[in-house]
Amino acid sequence: MASNQIGQCCAVGVKHEGEPTGKLETLEGVTTYVARPGSNAKSGVAILFLTDVFGYKFPNNQLLADDYARNGYLTIVPNIIHDDPVPAERPEGFDIMKWFAGEAPHGKEPHGPETVFPIVDKSISWLKSQGINKIGAVGYCYGAKHSIVKLGKKEVDVVYVAHPSFVEESELEAIKGPLSIAAAETDSIFPAEKRHKSEEILQKTGQPYQITLYSGVEHGFSVRGDMKNPAVKFGKEQAFFQAIQWFDQWLK
């Protein structure tokens, strides 16, 4: 695998400050958080934001979507977790792998690729119906796999992922467009050996790629980091700028 399976560290976080400015809309039958740009809107391009296990209602994810919109990108965050997010404050004994399997009381239904890709497909269909001709996909942790798979199928054009999980080597080998990765120094899911292996794979693809390692941060830092920690705050902000610069360069 290019990254390990998700772990308990994916379900720990600190909320960020701010009031989301987007709206919940129903797109192709999917409840979706939509962040629309203002007068600086970029024509014909959009960002498909695939979340971590906290989902589209998690304020941190909504605030990030708003940030992409402020940079000119129509950004949609579909409900890929079927309104069954991992609790932001995990109860004692919570087993995230049982959440994936949909085993009560940890989850309501399975959360494997077979439940995610139909939602992603509907989101892509809606974007194309709006005149969008180039799509950038953002994948945080859980959402990274689905973004990379779609890049391999040329159903999205450019991808940025942060602290990815569940990505198979074969999926990384198959990419057919630019891929940027933000990695944490401390990450049992995407550790050094996985980063190095991913670099070897990406070199062989012939596609534009970037892997940036942020020191002093852990898995989840780009969404759920503690902003009171200067190293985490710096890493989170730089990882976002990394995404914007990547899309500005390749999503044209």
Within a 10 A sphere around the Cβ of 194, how many other Cβ atoms?
Answer: 20
pLDDT at 6: 54
Tokens 């709006």: give the residue.
Answer: 130
Active site residue 226: no
Q: Which helix H or strand E contains 151, and what residues bound it?
A: helix 142-152
Task: Average the pLDDT over 4-22 and give the result.
Answer: 63
Average pLDDT of the chain, as a whole number: 93
Angle, vertex CA 187, rays to CA 54 and CA 200, nearest 5: 115
| Amino acid identity at 82 | H
Per-residue pLDDT at 82 exceeds 70: yes
Which one of 106, 111, 163, 219 is the catalytic residue?
219
pLDDT tens string 195-212: 999 999 999 999 999 999
In terms of residues, how long is the chain? 252
CA dihedral 29, 35, 36, 38 (to 10 degrees): 170
pLDDT band of 2, cuts 50, 70, 90 = confident
Angle, vertex CA 158, rays to CA 154 and CA 164, nearest 5: 100
pLDDT tens string 169-188: 999 999 999 999 999 999 99
Which one of 66, 111, 141, 157 is the catalytic residue?
141
Active site residue 10: no
Active site residue 9: no
Backbone angles phi, psi at 8, to 5 degrees: -65, -25
Task: Average the pLDDT over 71-77 and give the result.
Answer: 97
Residue 235: DSSP 8-state: H
pLDDT band of 7, cuts 50, 70, 90 = low
- pTM beyond 0.75: yes
pLDDT tens string 107-134: 898 999 999 999 999 999 999 999 999 9
Domains located in the chain, CATH noted: 8-250 (3.40.50.1820)
Q: Which two tokens stand for residue 208?
A: 């534009």
Per-residue pLDDT at 106 exceeds 70: yes
